[in-house]
Amino acid sequence: MQTFLEEIRAAIEAETGIESPKLETPRDPAMGDVAFPCFILAKERKAAPPKIAAELEAALNSRMERVTAKATGPYLNFTIERAAFAETVLSEIAEHGPCYGTSAEGAGQKIVIDFSSPNIAKPMSVGHLRSTVIGAAIQRLHDALGYETVGINHIGDWGSQFGKLVAAVNRYGNTVDLEGDPIPALLALYVRYHEEEEGDPALVEEAREAFRELESGVDGPVRQTWRKLTELSLEEFGKIYSRLGVSFDLIRGEAFYEPHLDSTVDRVVASGVTEESEGALVVDLSSFGKIPPCLLRKTDGTTLYATRDLAAVFHRWEEFGFTRALYVVGGDQRLHFRQLKHVLERMELDWESRVEHVSFGMMRLPEGKMSTRKGRVVFLDDVLDAAAAEASKVIAEKNPDLTDRDAIAETVGVGAVVFNDLKRERVKDIDFRLEEVLSFEGDTGPYVQYTHARLASIERKAGEVDAPCEWGVLEGAAGILGQLGRYPEVLRSAARHAEPSELTTFTLSLARDVNSWVARERVLGQSPEVTAARLALVRGARQVLGNSLAILGVGAPTEM
């Protein structure tokens, strides 16, 4: 695609003297592949845009070989010769293979991505699953464009609830299977302590005392227990991460920033934006509208989630000097991130605009909204297990002879859940329905995976075809070729907007077009030249689907 754009730009530049002219995509693809609006030129030359367009048409056509220009109203529309376009795009994909679409344009720029960030000693929620899946996709998108990315798991490992947990472990630890199945065990301990605490002030005091010791930094029995809880929880989360194929550059929880809290508060105070309010230290944000102040220190001297996020963002800025710091966190924390950014704004830190809350909507499971305290939770492992089991059933029906069924069922089941999380604009809420998510026919991960496997199977059957391609037979695949050529731009746009759904939408539309093309046109059993050209399209489409799925974090089986 790039080579054609260069050819068009060069022709316009030579003819008009405009340097790197701006090209657009025509609203109606039937009009052409790219368009050049003549308004600015018309102004310069003091003539009507349609007149300029008409005048330029012939001149440009004599300068271009593989592109035809046509004046339509105030626009010049350019149509790239189909055969040349097919040959160029498909050769480019074949040449770059898994790297097709990637670039080095982000080189030297650091992108910090705070994602997943579950809370220790609690089950990872569906919200954390969304953050994990969306955040990892955003990281891979930036990786593909050559940015230096730092994925940080900002686990929730700090707060007074850990005093309660340590006290609960001390009291009732031996009544549960802490090592064997830590999360349900800790959950049960927490629920029990929470209930019994209501009638017993001694328990409240015990929990407080434990947290005081934890905060004091003393490396005694309380800290040891707390550390153990963190380790056990991370081991459990690790199981989910490995099923999802997600890893982090840094696992740095809130506790990591604990030693930086005093200096953080000092820094905000020194910038002159703090004030006392009923004994607490706050930053007033009323100049930004109806928004509550940001609380830095409570009356009793303890800091808050926001204080720890301020410490974290300062630390990250100093360590990385990021181009963007993305926080992939649910929409229920919108206020928190607005406050965080407003504090930076009041401090007049010019890098404030680089800090972005990458918000997302809620996912509702059929079981209803989950609540940790009531102990009514859905364990993510169970959701993934159910998806894999369901996928296994479908595969058994459709393809009973498949050798590696269990492994492929895991790829399809987990891929279905991941794809479903990425397929709509991330701010939208979604209802999770397993049957829909796993359908091989709808707008689903399995549908894209199935298309990928279908193309791979055609490739296997065709083997090596040693003949020149008759590109003209790809006339009916113009739409597909256009999409394949557009893929690098899709990656760029999806990264810029931190919006993986732009890529899922692209893969779905490509998969749909490819499936109907495959149903219409035969690849095998044609003259070698025709088979060669159609096979090149099959390979190109399979490669781009595979590359897309890899970035989304969805496996791409070659058989299913």
Mutual angle of helices 221-244 and 201-216, in 10-degree steps:
80
Shortest approach of ligand ARG to residue 377 CB, angstroms? 14
Shortest approach of ligand ARG to residue 275 CB, angstroms? 24
Cβ burial, residue 323 (10 Å; 0-12/13-18/19+): middle
Give the DSSP letter of residue 92.
H
Shortest approach of ligand ARG to residue 309 CB, angstroms? 5
Shortest approach of ligand ARG to residue 103 CB, angstroms? 29
Kindly tell me which of 248 and 447 has the beta carbon lying closer to ligand ARG.
Answer: 248
Kindly tell me which of 329 and 510 has the beta carbon lying closer to ligand ARG.
Answer: 329
Kindly tell me which of 53 and 214 has the beta carbon lying closer to ligand ARG.
Answer: 214
- Residue 528: name the closest of 516, 520, 536 by CA: 536
34-37/75-80 β-pairing = antiparallel
Shortest approach of ligand ARG to residue 257 CB, angstroms? 10
Kindly tell me which of 119 and 411 has the beta carbon lying closer to ligand ARG.
Answer: 119
What distance in Å separates the CA atoms of residue 244 and residue 227, rounded to the nearest whole number?
25
Q: List the structure tokens of 503.
A: 């890529």
Kindly tell me which of 119 and 501 has the beta carbon lying closer to ligand ARG.
Answer: 119
Shortest approach of ligand ARG to residue 152 CB, angstroms? 8
Q: List the structure tokens of 407.
A: 């492994």
Q: Which stretch binds ligand ARG (CB under 6 A): 113-121, 201-209, 379-387, 520-528?
A: 113-121
141-160: which residues touch ligand ARG (CB under 6 A)? 154, 156
When binding is defined by CB under 6 A, the residue of 71, 329, 383, 456 that contacts ligand ARG is 329
- Residue 560: name the closest of 460, 411, 390, 389 by CA: 411
Contact 217, 193 (CB under 8 A): no
Kindly tell me which of 121 and 511 has the beta carbon lying closer to ligand ARG.
Answer: 121
Residue 114 in the binding site for ligand ARG (CB under 6 A): yes
Angle subtended at Cα 364 by Cα 361 and Cα 368, rounded to the nearest 5 degrees:
140
Binding mask 274-313 for ligand ARG (x = CB under 6 A): -----------------------------------x--x-
Kindly tell me which of 134 and 329 has the beta carbon lying closer to ligand ARG.
Answer: 329
Give the DSSP letter of residue 220.
S
Shortest approach of ligand ARG to residue 214 CB, angstroms? 17
Number of residues in contact with ligand ARG under rule CB under 6 A: 9
Kindly tell me which of 92 and 236 has the beta carbon lying closer to ligand ARG.
Answer: 236
Kindly tell me which of 127 and 555 has the beta carbon lying closer to ligand ARG.
Answer: 127
Q: Which stretch binds ligand ARG (CB under 6 A): 111-119, 230-238, 287-295, 535-543?
A: 111-119
What distance in Å separates the CA atoms of residue 468 and residue 553, rounded to the nearest whole number?
36
Helix, strand or coil, per DSSP, at residue 480? helix
Q: Is the dihedral of CA 25, 139, 421, 361 positive or negative?
A: negative
351-410: which residues touch ligand ARG (CB under 6 A)? none
Binding mask 70-109 for ligand ARG (x = CB under 6 A): ----------------------------------------
Kindly tell me which of 258 and 559 has the beta carbon lying closer to ligand ARG.
Answer: 258
Shortest approach of ligand ARG to residue 213 CB, angstroms? 23
Shortest approach of ligand ARG to residue 316 CB, angstroms? 10
Residue 129 in the binding site for ligand ARG (CB under 6 A): no
How is 381-435 classified by DSSP, letter by letter? HHHHHHHHHHHHHHHHHH-TT-TTHHHHHHHHHHHHHHHHHHSS-TTS-EE--HH
Helix, strand or coil, per DSSP, at residue 270? helix
What distance in Å separates the CA atoms of residue 254 and residue 361, rounded to the nearest whole number?
24
Kindly tell me which of 337 and 506 has the beta carbon lying closer to ligand ARG.
Answer: 337
Shortest approach of ligand ARG to residue 398 CB, angstroms? 39
Residue 327 in the binding site for ligand ARG (CB under 6 A): yes
- Residue 207: name the closest of 220, 217, 216, 194 by CA: 194
Kindly tell me which of 154 and 454 has the beta carbon lying closer to ligand ARG.
Answer: 154
Helix, strand or coil, per DSSP, at residue 101? coil
Count of C-beta atoms within a 10 Å radius of residue 231: 12
Count of C-beta atoms within a 10 Å radius of residue 98: 10
Query: Measured at CB, which residue is nearest to ligand ARG?
Result: 156
Contact 446, 511 (CB under 8 A): no
What distance in Å separates the CA atoms of residue 160 and residue 165, rounded to the nearest whole number?
9
Q: Which stretch binds ligand ARG (CB under 6 A): 112-120, 232-240, 369-377, 515-523?
A: 112-120
What distance in Å separates the CA atoms of residue 452 and residue 447, rounded to the nearest whole number?
9
Give kind and range of the element (H or E) at residue 447. helix 445-462
Kindly tell me which of 360 and 419 has the beta carbon lying closer to ligand ARG.
Answer: 360
- Residue 35: name the closest of 45, 22, 17 by CA: 22
Q: Which stretch binds ligand ARG (CB under 6 A): 85-93, 94-102, 114-122, 259-267?
A: 114-122
Residues that bind ligand ARG (CB under 6 A): 114, 117, 119, 154, 156, 309, 312, 327, 329
